[in-house]
Amino acid sequence: MAGAAAATSRSASPSRVRSAATKRPPHSVAVRSPPAASTSLTTTCAPARARASAIARPVPTPAPVTSATCPAISITRFYQPRASAIMCGMATTVPGSGTLPDTSDFRRQAFVDGAFTDAASGSTFACVSPVTGETLFDVAACDSEDVDRAVAAARRSFEGGAWSRLAPRKRRGVLLRLAELIHRDRDRLATMITLDMGKPIGDARGEVAGAVACFRFFAEAIDKVYGEVGPTGPDVVSTITREPIGVVGLVVPWNYPILMPTWKLAPALATGNSVILKPAEQSPIVALALAELTAEAGIPDGVVNVLPGMGETAGQAIGRHMDVDKVAFTGSSEVGKFFLVYAGQSNMKSVQLECGGKSPNVVFADVPDLDLAVAESAEGIFGNSGQVCSAGSRLLVQEAIADEFLEKLAREAAKWLPGDPFDAGTRMGSLVDETQMDRVLGYIETGRGEGAEVRAGGVRAREETGGFYVEPTIFGAARNDMRIAQEEIFGPVVTAIPFASEEDGIRIANDTIYGLTSGVWTRDINKAYRFARSIRSGTVCINCYDRGDNALPFGGFKQSGIGRDKSLHALENYTQLKTTYINVLPS
């Protein structure tokens, strides 16, 4: 489901830091220097524990090991920016039109060592709602200095043992409490998601429910995972135990602003680690709200730190930090490769990647229920406006039924026309920002230029709202060597490719650099099984598309990533094995 966009976005591009002389796009805010006597305002998290009220307090002293220890590497393209600028000093955003829900009580500072605090530099960036294109407010733009502070806090908390050495059943209780708090605040969190990335409110509520279920799953798993006793003979006692890795950096995307952090945060916390979470700059709001709930649930200071900021600054600093033991990243394959480079040039930290996809949804002529296949194919690419790493963006339809299938799919697409994300009846909302919208529209023009046939959509929608919407788009008569069939568009665009035989279908399905998920529709169980064994993807869905469960692992083959989210296997990502060998001496 999720993986997709990068800790910022799906494609990399130049830094969003602009000089004052740079021409600014709509909704951006001018850069200005911080006041000469500026001080960092730090506020304690009131619901957490009995502590001093919101007052200024000293910033934690960074550990001697910093991100600067590792020499920088030159990167010309990193994360895809939103059309806004980083600002220094106090926020100066343009007020919204008043058509969106009130955001005055939303957190907008970083969360470090149990307190909300400004970025060390005083810089901020605009949080723009794609629902209407309005600037909501400005958010702290963290960079390497803030990463150093957060890593120092995480290391102190880990070594102190208040969480890492807490009895598993007690960690279980705290995480169950966190799940209940998320459920309590479900409507507020769903509103944040819709405001921040344009997801329909019904889907946003479903995402919050998924986060609750994920925390409950890993909370219940904590005290039910055992070590091993090695088969080493009567004179030796050997044990194999799993221990937490230590300080873990989590760099997550914008397409599922609470679920993607949860998929990594829940198992990382369950196994006793301390974390630095960097949400995508396109959707930072809900991660900051989640930080506040972790404190209220009783997670000790320093165990959870949340740093909003740019990928090319905060994200890279996490990846290159010499005192971060592991990075778990969800986003584009291009950016995922950078994290592998950062690990090699720093401390050889463990790297887990859940990256891009161009997943094949293969419909054979003997499909058992054509209408069901059409409906699920539509949902598999138009759901979440196509901003899903496992979206069924390549639709392979056997030639005998291709025309009928695409005619039905075009009629089904009409049910997914973009609407007001705050309307409970809306099925498809906006894209996350103007840059992503332009990217999707650019690929649509590329598809036309390549000779593919537009069977539905292909244009911007709801332009009068100021938001960033694109109609569900279907390309027919496409070839698998086209860019629209090979490159991840990350929008509501499906490329339909006809195929002749079973062998032809499997060949085309595997002809991609990705291998995240896949689907096959047939009433022949033997054919389905042959396909499942032949396809190179982490998940295969038979007579359905993009299904899953917290008990099942999620991840990809090839350039779709390394490692797995969800299921008990996810606990392996955040632990390392220790062998203890005891020589039993004779009496």
If residue 436 lies in a helix (H) or strand (E), which one and from where to where?
A: helix 434-449
Task: Let me know if 228 is a catalytic residue.
Answer: no
Q: How far apart are CA 382 and CA 376, in angstroms?
A: 10
Question: What are 141's two structure tokens?
Answer: 């733009």
> Identity (one letter) of the amino acid at 236?
V
Indicate if the alpha-carbon torsion angle 318, 322, 324, 328 is positive or negative: positive
Widest pairwise Cα distance in the chain: 87
Say if CB 29 and CB 127 are below 8 A apart: no
Q: Which of 134, 354, 379, 434 is catalytic?
A: 354
Say if CB 73 and CB 15 are below 8 A apart: no
| β-bridge partners, 540 | 518
Question: What are 120's two structure tokens?
Answer: 């060390």
DSSP output for 185-242: THHHHHHHHHHHH---HHHHHHHHHHHHHHHHHHHHHGGG---EE----TTEEEEEEE
Question: What are 439's two structure tokens?
Answer: 């990217």
Say if CB 305 and CB 112 are below 8 A apart: yes
Chain centroid to CA 468: 20
Say if CB 362 and CB 509 are below 8 A apart: yes
Question: What are 307's two structure tokens?
Answer: 């740093």
Question: Within a 10 A sphere around the Cβ of 229, how many other Cβ atoms?
Answer: 10
Residue among 196, 206, 309, 307 at smallest CA distance from 255: 196
Q: How far apart are CA 113 and CA 381, in angstroms?
A: 40
Write the DSSP symbol of residue 82: P
Q: How far apart are CA 255 and CA 252, in angstroms?
A: 9
3 state DSSP class of 342: helix
Q: Which residue has the tokens 């010499």?
A: 322
Residue among 265, 268, 266 at smallest CA distance from 278: 265
User: How many residues are recorded in the chain?
Assistant: 587
Task: Let me know if 389 is a catalytic residue.
Answer: yes
3 state DSSP class of 562: strand
Question: What are 547's two structure tokens?
Answer: 């299904």
Number of H helices, E strands in the chain: 15, 26
Write the DSSP symbol of residue 141: -
Q: How far apart are CA 218 and CA 465, in angstroms?
A: 41
Q: Which of 127, 214, 389, 541 is catalytic?
A: 389
Chain centroid to CA 407: 34
Q: Which distant-in-sequence residues (6+ apart) come within 8 Å of 68 by Cβ?
A: 144
Catalytic residues: 354, 389
